[in-house]
Chain A
Amino acid sequence: MSSAKADAANPLISRWHVDPASTGEVGAFRQSVRWGAPGFPWTYLTRCRAGEFEIVEKLGISINHVLHGEQEYEFLDVKNAERALSGRSDGATLLYQTILSDHFEKKGASATLQFLVMVTEVHVVSAASEVHDALLGPAPGSRPFARAKTTFVVRRPLRPLNEAPQGKVP
């Protein structure tokens, strides 16, 4: 098996994943964090992390050995975000895919730390028919309403990242 570097020319991309932002799911999330402000819970998109975990696994790293360093969310279309994440309707379906956008090392005081940066784009689809049979992606022309950028710190890497096995890119 050949080893390959995950870089711009050969990126690691997750499958498409779905998440139901139903009234019940949003309500349970809101309650679990005791969200008190009006409007949608701003961190709800943390549910859309299956792609991140998929890539961590592809890199051969145990999820228990990564720490969440930083999380950013950008709402590209806030009206759509409100519509999708308010949980008011019977439920929007979120469709998302993650890419490993960067990885680098930093020398700390006692050890060299590895960082993984992942970007997830989230689309909303209102009807199940818009989700392709095999979750091939959103309908053509659909634009993401939000983008998540996650920085992980690897606490106990198994091996240098550039020796990690390359997962199959769908």
Chain B
Amino acid sequence: MVDNPQLKGNDLRQIETILAGAREFGDRYVRPRALELDRRAWADINDFPWDLVREGGKYGLLSASLPPQAGGTARFICTSLCLVMEELSAACPGVAVVFGAHGLGVGPLALGGPLFWDGAMREIAESERLGNPIMMAFAITEPSAGTDMENPDLVDAAQLGCHAKRVKGGYLLNGTKCFISNGAQARYVTVYMPVDPARPRATMTCFLVDSRSEGFQVGHVEHKMGQRVSRAAELIFDDVFVPECDIVGRVGDGVTNMMGVLIGSRPAVGAIGTGIARGAYERVLEWLLNDPEAKPLLERQQVRLALAQMEEEIHLARQAYVDAATEFDNVSIGSLNNDIGVRMLGKLPNGLRSSSLVRRQMGSGIARNAVMAMLGRRVGNRGLTRALALSSMAKARGADTAMKVTGMALEIAGLSSGPIRAELEKLMRDAKLTQIFEGTNQLNRLEVYEGLCVDGELGLMPIGPGKLPEPVERPRRSAMASSGQSTNGAVTAGKAGVR
């Protein structure tokens, strides 16, 4: 399945279970409805298949991106997420991205360390189990800032319209984010804004925003060429208050956090591209083998060559994302979750871990600094740059493969091929977005240059001393999260900031 020597025993079984579930869910519930969902999504901008999300929840697809300590199932998060994405994308990329964008939203929390295990993430796991799914979204892009928001070297010059203003007990968020997948459905959004608009690179911060907060509003929902089931929405922040305890990591760690998430999510985009290509290839091959009118085409050498090339492209794209996911899980950021200290914390009973004493310690400056220090020590700038390069390569390769293979499949089938044509056209429309989101392929390849061609180092670690949130009473909304207490541990601003 996956050539990862560390995947064995229980870990391997867990991933095989998740994969089998994703495949069954895709084949039984998604693929037969893919065209209908696409049409409905175009006709009614408010239509969203919550029934399908609930069904996916039965297969653990919302918790697939959670660390095991927060109720997730797999230790090798990136690998398992990628495999799920390929399976779902072969059925319907739009549905895959609903779950993928949720995983992206979860990403900052998963990287945020033990403090976040028992908040929104556990709520997601619990609600999934109860059949009342909660989803997340990830908000970076702004109307005037897209690709440059995703590059540490460009972000200082980006035309950012969002900013977070310090107020008593937290921050007020203002501005507009756009093209946010799941934006209109998400309960929680991880959103990036600078605290000082004049110094975005140094002060970019990740905030966990509850979409029920006052001042939060969903704006325009886009009509997209493809991946229509996954809604892209504008999110408007009008003095949205976020308490200090919902700062993910430290103030100023936003770029590091964001890039860390992208290192984990770009292989998943590569997997989405691979899945789209596979979906097109499987459909056209099935048609050629089974439709009496189509079958004679298999006698044509051009068709055989095209099919062989499709196989080849898909194989290489899969290899690229598996390599990147393996690097993430075994070597770079994901490996932090396998740290002995983190694993021991994970073995604490939930009740104990949710106690005010332990939460206070985990939310303390020392703990938050420790997370960043561990990242610096175990991975560092060079390790992050290399991991980013591999993940960017996987993303660009998977996306290009999706475009190429869907185009080839459509070319073989032609306009008169009957019902299969609409499915192939949909996959091609879906494929184009993979070349654009999570940084355009061009930006991704520039990061491959940095990380692999010249063994460079992007400034991915925090560039200034990360300021620690001050202690504050955390207002809890759900009974499950009621254990969240104030954090009043010792805080020393300007301490860690590991370079």
Whether chains A and B associate is: no
